[in-house]
Amino acid sequence: MPLGEPPSGVTFDGNGLCLEPHACSTPGIKSKVALLAASKMPSTVSLNKVEGSQTQTSVTLHWDAPASTGGSPVTSFEVYRDDGLGGNFMRVDVLPTASVVPNTDRSTSGNEYTFIGLITGRRYNFFVATCNKRGCNNGPVYGPITATSPPEQPDAPIKSHAQYNPPFINLTWAVPASQGLPITHTEIDRDDGDEGPLSKLVDVDSPQVFYIDSSVVAGEKYRYRIRVHNTQSTSMYSDVVTYIAAGVPSRPDPVQLVSQSKTSIKVSWSKPADNGADIDLFVLRRDDGLGSMLTQVYRGSDFIFESTGLATNREYAFSVSARNFAGESLASEIVRFRSAAMPGPMPQPLLSASSCAQGSVTFAWEAPADDGGCPLQRYRVLMNGQSAQGAELPVSMREFSTAGFSCGELYKWTVQAKNCLDIYGPESPVLETYIASLPARVTGLNATHVSATELLYSWTPLSGISQIGSVDATVLKGYELWMDDGQGGQFTQTFNGYNKPFQTTFLASGLLPGWTYRAFVRAINVAGPGNHSEVLFRTMSIEASAPRDLMVALAGSTTVACSWKPPREDGGETLSNYVLEYAPGPNFSAWSIDGPFPHGTAFSQRVENLTQGAVYQFRIKAVSKAGDGFYSNIVSRMIGSPPLSAPAVLTRTATTASSMTWAWASLPLAETGSAALGGYRLYMNTGRDDATHLIYDGSAEPAVTEFTVHSLVCGWTYRAEVAAVTVIGEGPRSPQAAFRLATEPSQPLRVEVSSSNDNSIGLVWDSPEDSGCAPIELYQLERDSGSGFETIGNVSAPIQSYTDSSDLQPGSVYIYRITARNEALQKFGPYSAYVTAYAASPPGRVRNLGYVSSTRTSMTLSWLPPLHTGGQAIIVDAYHVQADDGLGGQFSDVAIATGTYAIIGHLSPGRNYSFRVAAETSVGIGPFASYSQISAALPGWPDVPLVQTVPGYKHRFRITWNEPADSGGSALLGYMVISDDTCDRYDGTSVVAVNSVQIRCAEGKTHQLRVAARNIVGWGRSSPSVSRFCGSEPGVPKNVRLKVYIPATLVDMTDMRTPDAMTITWDVPEDDGGAPVEQYHLFRDEGDGRGVYTLVYAGTSTSATLHSLTQGLTYRFYVLAINS
């Protein structure tokens, strides 16, 4: 070892021991100095942050190898940082140099160091000291760096608006969590519109969250993504989204009415401006005619649609919207059309009165049979094709009077009606009228006896202008005959010849023999009745009238049985007998009298010994004291056998609402009897369960085997029988056949899908408007699964619903139709309107409805699609977004979105708006999900809070914060302190004045603490988190001192210092703060008294040996104890 010189005045023995102990308190002999240090210190190194390495509590820094080692190998790197609050630097670690690779940009070890245990939100500064034997050279300070993670990945940007001319795309986005540092700007990347690579388009400085991209080409599609930057780091890119440089189509014009009926409305629409993107389809929506919400009834590319199966006289609302790649346009203005038609034609008007003197005319009419499906409102009278004066009449008036015309002029009148459609229907048939005076007195009245009870009256017809009352002879309407009762009583009208101007005779019957009857006649024209004629007197007394209803029936091969009824009038005398006569053919001139004469009270007689096969005519007359009466009708009869049997199989073959066709089988030749078949006679009752009577006599038409009866009453049951006829007579009648008069029911109405899911489809319908005059018996349902309609089931009335669960494929579309049959006919009526259904349910409720962002006048809502769209192949077509007026009013559509977001603008600041969203598929609209929000933005986030321990408590924190810079446009209401992301340690919902609180913590546990502010909208983003251990800081280490050696003997050294090193030691603090002391930090100044301290030791020991000190300098030290 080096040798040195002994100090003066001190004596040592041969072993170097001090011979004078009192003089041996100073060091022994010093060796000679060995100069081993380099000539100079190494050059400094600069720090850089390793990209992507930073978290909320750590950061990795990199440095290159020093440019110069100073002539001696680098012995170590000492890494330093401050406390993040602007305090002194402390040495964190000492690194060996073996891992440092010179002349490299990056290395995984040695020239990188990860600083851990940082407190989130603090701003730290760093440097590295490069050391060799000569000493350490401090590098430049790097920082400050805030302890925080990169911002979170943002959501993809949202297109809030786009336009075709000039072209632009307006983007907006939500700012993600910044993780402690304010977002400085947002980077937007975009491709070239031709699917090229994405490149940076622009940087948008915060706090702006929108950008108008006007560098796009109209009609092109562009892909976008964004990422956000803070002062230290950058987030991950968002998802890529595609938008077109075009707007949604312009709002279409209101739909136009094409045609309408009682059960259908056909509408059309025009194509709006597509605003840069081709229109793919149109969506037509309609309500139920009762004011319900409009639902989709058509989606496709056509410009016309007929909505069928509607209820009569409802006012249906229609609206159409257009879709292109950019989205769906606003719905057109709602227009309403009524399910009704124009009124049917008016019946013929009838003239009531006319006056030549006053030049007036009055006529009346009846309402049309068909009102078109809605009530009539007014009538209009047309004269000679033009609207007459005062011609608009309320529906309660069905008579029209007018004056001021010239006598004898011809006028043509028609009437129209209009209903709720406010359109006049077709005109009535023309009523032609002349202006006329009353007719003149009728002359030439006479009466001739026809029978004991009948008088034939006749008179002279009027002629000429003076008699008829007009130049137009057609104004004469006819004549009226008036008679008394034969006993001098009042006159009553016996004959009304109105509209019979050419009838000038009348047979008065039912008169009594011996009575004298008075009569007069008068004419009537369009102006009214004229004066009556002179009164005519006639007394009744004549021969008996003809016997009635002479019938001749076969009673054998050569015998007939004759029968008759007495005369209606015996002429006032008792009948003595009848005279029955017959004459053979072919001339029928030789009449024979059959005797003896039947008595006046007999009404039948047989005539025998006639020639078989010959034709005879028969007649009869009554005889009284007044003489022979009139002959009866002549009856012809061939002598022989009539048909032997009745036609078979009498049945009904066709019906209408007022007619029925009967048909029967032809009679076999062997059953026709003694003569060739002449034809058939059909008998039917009146439908009142009465006896049948002859309705068809086809005696001369043997080939006719059917007959149609008209003017029947629908719904009544009719009985009929048929008989064959020859020239000889009529054969037996067939058994009676009975059928109800009915028609096929009309189509079932309003077929609708009542429910649907993957396994079943429920249908409901209304009964036909016309049951066909018989109760509905059965409904038949048919389904088209893609290969034509097939019957799937029958439903007995009165049930009007059906659930189809047979062989349905989930998500497939099916078409249904229904037909009805009544109890009277075994034939189904016409099919209902088709209804399309999916083997799927309406979509479920949208999920997680909430707002993405809001401003004072707009709100961005987002949601998740429903868990169930209703079926396997069913997709959501659109979402209906509705809002009220912010004052609790009615909901209305504010957007129809094809994506899962919507931006609602034009809101009134500060109002509490209610929103609701429902998904729409081809099956229908699902239930609404609701959400309410004030039209204001959320407050900003407070700065990093200050967290301190509370003196004297190991289980409490004091947390202090400042008000956020942005209140969101609404007054702040309070704050909330959140611990460990889940626990609200302080909820000051309505206490805005408090910005510093004490909270309890779990002693010995590290907590993450942050603060959020609340306004009327809700809670804003929370501040960056601060990591803090629960407990107090350790106490001050005691008795910091120079470490000395405890000598074994009195001559041993106690001072352990060397010229360039010393050892400092200390005692542990009296209070560890509730957690064990984990580390001690020893700080030293530079020995120059400036008060700049540097961390020179960090470790668990309570002593540290410091090297590279300068001999002769006085150093000052202090120690900190650190727990968790």
Q: 1065 is written with which tokens?
A: 């030691």
Nearest-angstrom CA–CA distance, 971 and 934? 12
Distance of CA 1061 to the CA centre of its chain: 88
Q: 912 is written with which tokens?
A: 């509490």
- Lowest average pLDDT, out of 258-267, 662-671, 709-718, 1008-1017, goes to 1008-1017
- 401 sits in which H/E element: strand 399-402
Residue that the structure tokens 């949601």 belong to: 863
Length of the chain, in residues: 1124
pLDDT score of 503: 93
pLDDT score of 907: 87
Task: Produce one character per residue of 65-75: b if its CB has 16 or more CB atoms within 10 Å, e if not.
Answer: bbeebbebebb
Calculate mean pLDDT across residues 272-298: 90
- Lowest average pLDDT, out of 79-83, 104-108, 607-611, 764-768, goes to 104-108
The residues, any chain, with a CB within 8 Å of residue 861's CB and separated by 6 or more, are 849, 850, 851, 852, 881, 901, 902, 903, 904, 915, 917, 931
Report which residue type is found at 283.
V
Calculate mean pLDDT across residues 123-146: 90
Q: CA-CA distances (angstroms) from residue 398 to 423, 525, 1081?
A: 18, 22, 114
pLDDT score of 536: 92
pLDDT score of 2: 35
**Residue 796 pLDDT more than 60?**
yes
**SS3 state at 96:** coil
Cα-based angle 898, 902, 906 (whole degrees, multiple of 5): 135
Calculate mean pLDDT across residues 961-971: 82
The per-residue pLDDT for range 232-245, each reduced to its tens digit, is: 788 899 999 999 88
- Lowest average pLDDT, out of 8-12, 282-286, 683-687, 754-758, goes to 8-12
Phi and psi based region of residue 531 (left: phi greater than 0; alpha: psi -120 to 50; beta: remaining): beta
Nearest-angstrom CA–CA distance, 911 and 919? 26
The per-residue pLDDT for range 482-541, each reduced to its tens digit, is: 999 999 999 999 999 999 999 999 999 988 877 889 999 999 987 778 899 999 988 776
Phi and psi based region of residue 711 (left: phi greater than 0; alpha: psi -120 to 50; beta: remaining): left
- 60 sits in which H/E element: strand 59-62
Report which residue type is found at 726.
T
Q: CA-CA distances (angstroms) from residue 761 to 487, 812, 836, 842, 872?
A: 82, 11, 10, 11, 15
- Lowest average pLDDT, out of 405-409, 599-603, 1060-1064, goes to 405-409
The residue among 972, 981, 973 whose CA lies nearest residue 1010 is: 981
Nearest-angstrom CA–CA distance, 876 and 922? 8
pLDDT band for position 1092 (50/70/90)?
A: confident
Helix, strand, coil percentages in the chain from 3-state DSSP, rounded to 5: 0, 45, 55
Q: CA-CA distances (angstroms) from residue 329 to 241, 322, 412, 895?
A: 21, 5, 55, 9
Calculate mean pLDDT across residues 194-220: 91
Cα-based angle 586, 589, 591 (whole degrees, multiple of 5): 115
Q: 508 or 839, which is more confident?
A: 508
Q: CA-CA distances (angstroms) from residue 919 to 293, 301, 762, 782?
A: 14, 22, 21, 30
pLDDT band for position 663 (50/70/90)?
A: very high
What is the DSSP code (8-state) at residue 89? B
pLDDT band for position 109 (50/70/90)?
A: very low
Q: 1084 is written with which tokens?
A: 């030293």
The residue among 969, 971, 972, 970 whose CA lies nearest residue 961 is: 972
**Residue 24 pLDDT more than 80?**
no
946 close to 1030: Cβ distance less than 8 angstroms: no
pLDDT score of 35: 47
Report which residue type is found at 56.
Q
Calculate mean pLDDT across residues 738-752: 91
The per-residue pLDDT for range 1007-1018, each reduced to its tens digit, is: 888 888 888 777
**Residue 30 pLDDT more than 60?**
no
The residues, any chain, with a CB within 8 Å of residue 108's CB and separated by 6 or more, are none
Task: Output Rg (C-alpha) for the chain, integer angstroms.
Answer: 60
E-strand spans in 528-574? 528-529, 536-539, 548-554, 560-565
pLDDT band for position 97 (50/70/90)?
A: low
Nearest-angstrom CA–CA distance, 1097 and 396? 112
The residue among 173, 169, 168 whose CA lies nearest residue 157 is: 173
Q: 158 is written with which tokens?
A: 């949202």
| Number of other CB atoms surrounding residue 335 within 10 Å | 16
SS (H, E, C) 639-653: CCCCCCCCCCCCEEE
Cis omega (within 30 of 0) for bond into 207: yes
Percent of the chain with pLDDT over 70: 93
pLDDT score of 1045: 74
Calculate mean pLDDT across residues 767-796: 92
Nearest-angstrom CA–CA distance, 711 and 697? 18
Task: Produce one character per residue of 705-727: b if its CB has 16 or more CB atoms within 10 Å, e if not.
Answer: bebebeebebbbebbbbbbbbbb
pLDDT score of 98: 42
Calculate mean pLDDT across residues 469-490: 88
Cis omega (within 30 of 0) for bond into 1069: no
Distance of CA 638 to the CA centre of its chain: 81
Q: 1008 is written with which tokens?
A: 């993450």
Report which residue type is found at 415.
V
**Residue 19 pLDDT more than 70?**
no
Calculate mean pLDDT across residues 766-782: 92
